[in-house]
Amino acid sequence: MSYFGIRAALSLALMVLPVAQASQAQVVLEGAWVRALPPTQTRTAAYLTVRNTGAEVLAITGGTASGAGRVELHETLEVDGMMRMQQQSVVEVPAGGSVELAPGGLHLMLLDLQAMPAAGDLVQLCLTIGGEPVCVQAETRRDAAPAKHDEHHHH
């Protein structure tokens, strides 16, 4: 599997190269937002695009969010016709590429919320990338902003 492949590649790289650390300059976090759910909920999801402008693969291994007890990396997968969320221990961002955390796929799960953020509230999200925290302010919204390619009709 690619996970073990990357682990092996990283171990190999560490033997011959100095430890690569994610500098802010190598990582761009774009379009971060948190989904506003009813205030009775204690968990919600956050989404963003992580762009790697560096020449080496970067690994996202976790994160934190203001007001959340803990944050997990999740992927929504269809298993036997049911949508399930599976925790991911690592998400790789290819060199010169990006990974999109978006509804229906990869996302951050904000757990043990002290209070559900309201629409318009800013939440500080920090991702652990290459072992270093990289942070962004995420806006809380009820739904994704309609994307250019997204047919978003209201009936």
Question: Would you list the DSSP string of 37-96?
Answer: --TT-S-EEEEEEEEE-SSS-EEEEEEEETTEEEEEEEEEEEETTEEEEEEES-EEE-TT
Q: Is residue 138 classed as helix, strand or coil in its secondary structure? A: strand
Stretch that binds Cu ion, among 3-11, 46-54, 108-116, 137-145 (CB under 5 A): 108-116
Verify binding: residue 74, Cu ion, rule CB under 5 A.
Answer: yes
Tokens 């009813």 belong to 38
| Closest distance to Cu ion from the beta carbon of 73 (Å) | 9
- CB-wise, 57 or 73, nearer to Cu ion? 73
Stretch that binds Cu ion, among 12-20, 107-115, 127-135, 136-144 (CB under 5 A): 107-115
Verify binding: residue 109, Cu ion, rule CB under 5 A.
Answer: yes
Running DSSP on this structure, what letter comes out for residue 27? E
Task: Kindly determine how many residues on this chain lie close enough to bind Cu ion according to the rule CB under 5 A.
Answer: 3
Q: Which of 9, 14, 77, 85 binds Cu ion (CB under 5 A)?
A: 85
